[in-house]
Amino acid sequence: MTVALAVILAGVLHATWNAIAKGAADHAVSFAVIALTQTLLTLPVLPFTGLPDAGAWPWLTASIVVHVVYMGLLLKSYELGDFSQVYPLARGSAPLVVALVAATLFGERLSWPQFAGVAAVCGGLGVLAFAAGGRRDPRAIAAALLTGASIAAYTVLDGVGVREAGGALPYTTLLFAVQAPITVAIVAAMRGRRLVTALDRRQWLLGLGGGVFAMAGYGIVLWAQTRGTLASVAALRETGVISGAVIGAVFFSERLGARRVAAACVVAAGVVLITAH
């Protein structure tokens, strides 16, 4: 139960930093500020955490590439769609893919209640996405689904890699120490001087906080993946979409509605099924 609660907290942290990025005047620059924070936090401590074991390096390298692609797809999703639609659709499409891949390639097996829980979480999150009010841009839906595919990809890669790393801390530190500067460099190439001027002081401070939330949240997930199945950890993490729905309603004035409340209850029931094993 400790692992489950930690992963649920990671989902809340993830929804929070995504809302910070979505609410900024320039989404790309906000992503860069978040990544800059991660760079400043990880590079100084990298000599003290040590490097992951050699068996983790192929998985880590592939994960860094996928994470960079993921950030680009997530950025495009937020440019095209509403937070309360894009966020749950991207996050909700990933756990079922992870469950299928983990069962097919790595022999992980879920009990029937756990499998039903994963399906309930995915279904509830899908309703949360399509019951949202606002824009219905097919490009936003496509970008969100591609984002979900990238989430599933790095979840599997990191789930295997962290188990080969000899510890979650060296793997997490090196992942952010390499991926975050790449993200900053890409946005700097895109925005130039606007990287410094596009956001006001408040948004810079929020971005710095978002970087801490992002790294802490994913560090928790990587730790949890050394103690639970990939599918159950992935599904539990996506319960942060409930927080995302509340954030969308409160801070972005996006309609919550009865169907979305019911969908959130389905997600909660799925969590109970996943953790009751």
SS (H, E, C) the chain: CHHHHHHHHHHHHHHHHHHHHHHCCCHHHHHHHHHHHHHHHHCCCHHHHCCCCHHHHHHHHHHHHHHHHHHHHHHHHHHHCCHHHHHHHHHHCHHHHHHHHHHHHCCCCCCHHHHHHHHHHHHHHHHHHHCCCCCCCHHHHHHHHHHHHHHHHHHHHHHHHHHHCCCHHHHHHHHHHHHHHHHHHHHHHHHCCHHHHCCCHHHHHHHHHHHHHHHHHHHHHHHHHCCCCHHHHHHHHCCHHHHHHHHHHHHCCCCCHHHHHHHHHHHHHHHHHHHCC
* Closest listed residue to residue 28, CA positions, set 205, 139, 204, 186: 186
Please report, rounded to a whole number, the percentage of residues in the chain having pLDDT higher than 70: 91
Give the C-alpha separation, 179 to 166, whole Å. 20
pTM of the model as a whole? 0.81
Q: Exposure string (b/e) for 163-197, b if CB count within 10 Å is 16 or more?
A: bbbbbbbbbbbbbbbbbbbbbbebbbeebeeebee
Of 90 and 149, more confident: 149
Confidence of residue 143 (pLDDT cuts 50, 70, 90): very high
Instruction: Kindly report, residue by residue over 190-236, the tens digit of the pLDDT.
Output: 888 777 777 888 888 888 999 999 989 888 988 888 887 776 777 77
pLDDT at position 35 is 92
Residue 233 CB neighbour total at 10 angstroms: 29
pLDDT at position 248 is 72
pLDDT at position 92 is 73
Instruction: Kindly report, residue by residue over 49-62, the tens digit of the pLDDT.
Output: 989 999 999 999 99
Instruction: Kindly report, residue by residue over 186-201, the tens digit of the pLDDT.
Output: 999 988 877 777 788 8
Residue 261 CB neighbour total at 10 angstroms: 13
Give the C-alpha separation, 118 to 110, whole Å. 9
pLDDT at position 74 is 92
**Residue type (1 letter), 63:** S
For the cut 60, the answer to whether the pLDDT of residue 134 exceeds it is no
For the cut 90, the answer to whether the pLDDT of residue 73 exceeds it is yes
Question: In the numeric block, which tokens belong to residue 193?
Answer: 């001087």
Q: Answer for the pair 45, 173: CB distance below 8 angstroms, yes or no.
A: yes
pLDDT at position 123 is 81
Please report, rounded to a whole number, the percentage of residues in the chain having pLDDT higher than 90: 30
Count of structural domains within the chain: 1
Of 41 and 226, more confident: 41
pLDDT at position 275 is 61
CA angle at residue 41 from 38 to 46, to 5 degrees? 110
Domain that includes residue 248, residue range: 2-275
Confidence of residue 65 (pLDDT cuts 50, 70, 90): very high
Instruction: Kindly report, residue by residue over 157-180, the tens digit of the pLDDT.
Output: 998 999 999 888 999 999 999 999
pLDDT at position 136 is 64
